Structure 1
């Protein structure tokens, strides 16, 4: 039964996406006029052209057994005039969109750190509804964060160039004419930091990698209504360092958290029955992000100074959380990488910058957690 529900949700999402697509009003007028003329032709048409001095005086159209010939002629003339008007609109709109496509920019930021998506780059999956010249701004960190050669500090330095690269791509283009589309398959702390870097880049559209279909997708599904539940926040004391475990796409490993952060209080924010490859709703992600911010604000009000973030979430939500995080009004935050089966399950983290212009810092976990 569940597959039927998901199929129905996908069908409804596809319908609304089709209904909301950008339409050319000229083509609409032309199709309506053609339909009207086709409707007139359902009867036996008689067309008479009278001429004076070699020039057409008027065109007379009539339908046997139908409307009076004068009415039919007027309707036919109006429909043909409407077709011409629609044709003019189509040409004008086409030329305007061509100018916009030349003026506007679409910066496509694909973040590569884990899976090789070179066969299906993000830039090739951008919908035609995005008008503008596509600029490939991919960031490939796989050589820096592979299991054989881990250099997170170098990866962070590479990510720091992202805002500057986007400004260079924009050049003299107005900010309103710049659209950023981003997505990636990368370590969660780096995705969160990339989100922070994209916070001031205006309009940002998030896409994600569908693990089942092995293709990029926009977040167009219908909101399921599922929200985070919150546990254990009332036990937090002032000045505590706190572990915040967010289970969005799968459950955070509580045993690994206890082994890595002995003695630290744990606050859990989790979706009931989280599932991988399931968060494809823009509205749902926005609601979950608001809950995440509410918890950070609550921890700030309780006097918490440091949050150790364990984030089990899809890439798009990790980036969204990073965009929403405000270090000026929220506790200091470190986002951790999980490695299954390691002696230290969360071996390293990224300390998010506290001030504008500061750099993120790579922190090995062994040197940070000493409260056993």
Structure 2
């Protein structure tokens, strides 16, 4: 597997090199070198002048060109070659200066899967310019035990924003790119999204589970969108369950067990499958539907949204980035554990109205009568 990943990376680098934008300086050097080599077969060069100081170069050939014409062409090609070299050097220097000014802050979230042997920092393409800084957050020690220490994990994640601003320093936000990805509990991923919302340009990477590597969202949009049901049944309910089936179908029976007599709005892709949402455009469209649904619930007077989310990490983070705590209802994102009662044993309440993030065990009193 490691050999195949290495070969794949080599092929990707070769493809990037072949498809790179052509540089005029390189083209001039290539063309002039080709002409000089072509003329070089059978030329004589004579230098006139003092030893060590060349005054005149004379060229002659047996190929039919006069000496003066050959000299003119050769001088022109040498000047072209030097001009190309100057352009290449100037471009290299400018790119170096731009690279020194730009920064790439890599936030790898280590929670459920140990990706330390394949860090996100080392998986980024070379075409992404800027100094790279490792801003990884490891909460596996808190989440890999039973029961998971969610509050301690939240405390660690809370420092992400401060860490990014410290590393960014006085660099303009326009020169900073944040790259984020990770595998951890869904409510924590959503919370990380709320922390990244104000950090400028954000690129999201997801963990490709079958190939065990980081992957960008670079596939084509398959035009799959959410089918929205239950919105018309909300009426004036103050609390609403919002279920999202993006990579799996949410367990509606578990929702019925956990939440007592609450209306359920369901956002569902037609055929949700894991390890499948690899399109940036697709995720952006799904996020827009999620955002508009939250807005519709706010317009209907909902004060609290209980979010049950089955989605890949990138979409969870993206939803968190889109959530506007100022104008939307309070949101609690739930973790599912099918082996427990209730099946959604805890949630994370997102910051709102001056309240900080909070871990909330699901109260027994909220269980439906059938589970009592």
Q: TM class, shorter-chain normalised?
A: 0.7 to 0.9
CA offsets per residue over residues 29-67 of structure 1, 9 Å max, x none?
3245424653686689553545544645356587948x9
Structure 2 residues without counterparts, runs of 5 or longer: 1-11
Shift of 1:109: 0.8
After TM superposition, the structure 1 = structure 2 runs for residues 239-318 of structure 1, keeping only pairs within 5 Å, are: 239-318=237-316
Aligned pair in 2 of structure 1 residues 80, 123: CA closer, same or farther (>3 Å)? same
The residue that corresponds to 1:361 in the other structure is 358
Aligned pair in 2 of structure 1 residues 227, 102: CA closer, same or farther (>3 Å)? same
Aligned pair in 2 of structure 1 residues 365, 44: CA closer, same or farther (>3 Å)? same
Q: State how far apart, in whole Å, the 2-side matches of 1:63 and 1:189 are.
A: 80
Conserved? CA contact 1:62–1:70, under 8 Å: no
Conserved? CA contact 1:61–1:76, under 8 Å: no
Q: State how far apart, in whole Å, the 1-side matches of 2:243 and 2:222 are.
A: 22
Q: TM-score, normalised by structure 2?
A: 0.85
Shift of 1:362: 0.8
Worse overlay, 70-79 or 333-342? 70-79
Structure 1 residues without counterparts, runs of 5 or longer: 1-13
Name which of 88, 105, 108 aligns with 1:107.
105
Shift of 1:130: 2.3
1:235 aligns with 2:233: yes
CA offsets per residue over residues 313-342 of structure 1, 9 Å max, x none?
110111011001101111211111111232
Shift of 1:110: 0.8
The residue that corresponds to 1:57 in the other structure is 56
The residue that corresponds to 2:30 in the other structure is 34
Name which of 97, 119, 122 aligns with 2:120.
122
Conserved? CA contact 1:49–1:57, under 8 Å: no
After TM superposition, the structure 1 = structure 2 runs for residues 91-170 of structure 1, keeping only pairs within 5 Å, are: 91-170=89-168
SS of the equivalent of 2:305 reads strand
Q: TM-score, normalised by structure 1?
A: 0.85
Q: State how far apart, in whole Å, the 1-side matches of 2:168 and 2:332 are.
A: 31
RMSD: 2.9
Worse overlay, 342-351 or 51-60? 51-60
CA offsets per residue over residues 73-97 of structure 1, 9 Å max, x none?
6555444433322222222222333
Shift of 1:214: 0.3
The residue that corresponds to 1:3 in the other structure is none
Aligned pair in 2 of structure 1 residues 304, 42: CA closer, same or farther (>3 Å)? same
